[in-house]
Structure 1
Amino acid sequence: MTMDVTIYHNPACGTSRNTLAMIRNAGIEPTVIDYLKNPPTREQLVKMIADAGLSVREAIREKGTPYAELGLDDPGLTDDQLLDAMLKDSILINRPFVITPIGTRLSRPSEIVLDILPDTHKGAFTKEDGEQVLDAQGKRLI
């Protein structure tokens, strides 16, 4: 299927790998952006967060990042300050963000990506942890 899909991907992240595999299971080869090497611009990041219906704080990754050391848990920080931190150190951008003509999602958990993909899945899909997401007919189980 031809559909313009972009994933901001971290190949070291299981959730990101599962999301990418689900996109491909739908018969779509997305544009894959390794956001740690090629982070989004401020404008792109602001748009992705807004289009996904998230607050800037909801789009920050805490686990495995310098979030606490940087004091980003301070509720007094503004969105601009949080965005500055995310753009300075892209590991603070939660992942994977997926953009399709149907919508934009932060695909955590990975099966959230199914909300913005066409129903063109090619059979069963099981995540890396063994959880089955699609049945043999490509129908969503969770």
Structure 2
Amino acid sequence: MTVQFYWYPKCGTCRNAKKWLDENEVEYEAIHIVDNPPTKGELKKIIDKSDLPYKKFFNTSGKKYRELGLKDKLKDASEDEMLDYLASDGMLMKRPLTVGEDQVTVGFKEQDFENAWK
């Protein structure tokens, strides 16, 4: 099974996650999250599959997130509005975003990767 690995090559966390995938011989398709972000429809499927709240998919420490004032805007945003924001710019997404047949991991914690991808 090949997982989809949405990443930003300049991101240290993404590089650590990629290294983990390589070392553990996990087959993946690397997708540049800024050049080829998931579409709104793809994101909805990914988020639904993850059972995580929509807010977990935002890169809350990112410059773009702060510039757009999303901390306040997301409080009252609908799921549809959140999907619009996420699909509009790969830099708004928490990364890496790793998607398999039955599971999704957001960010990189070695234990989460062990549980999901080994």
Aligned to 1:103: 103
Give aligned pairs, total: 116
Secondary structure of the residue that 2:66 maps to in structure 1? coil
TM-score (structure 1 length as normaliser) = 0.73
Secondary structure of the residue that 1:68 maps to in structure 2? helix
- Greater helix share, structure number: 2
Unaligned runs of 5+ in 1: 119-142
Q: C-alpha displacement at 1:100, in angstroms?
A: 2.3
Aligned to 1:64: 62
CA–CA separation in structure 1 for the residues paired with 2:66 and 2:7: 23
CA–CA separation in structure 2 for the residues paired with 1:26 and 1:86: 30
Larger Rg: 1
| Larger displacement relative to structure 2 (53-62 or 94-103) | 94-103
Percent identity between the two aligned chains: 28
CA RMSD of aligned residues (A): 1.7
Q: C-alpha displacement at 1:105, in angstroms?
A: 1.1
Give 1:103's aligned amino acid. Q
Q: C-alpha displacement at 1:13, in angstroms?
A: 1.1
Query: How big is each residue's C-alpha offset from its partner over 1:55-110, in whole Å with a ceiling of 9 and x where there is no partner?
Result: 11111112123223322112112222222122222200111111224521113335
* Higher relative contact order, structure no. (Cα contacts within 8 Å, ≥ 6 residues apart): 2
TM-score (structure 2 length as normaliser) = 0.85
CA–CA separation in structure 2 for the residues paired with 1:18 and 1:84: 29
Unaligned runs of 5+ in 2: none
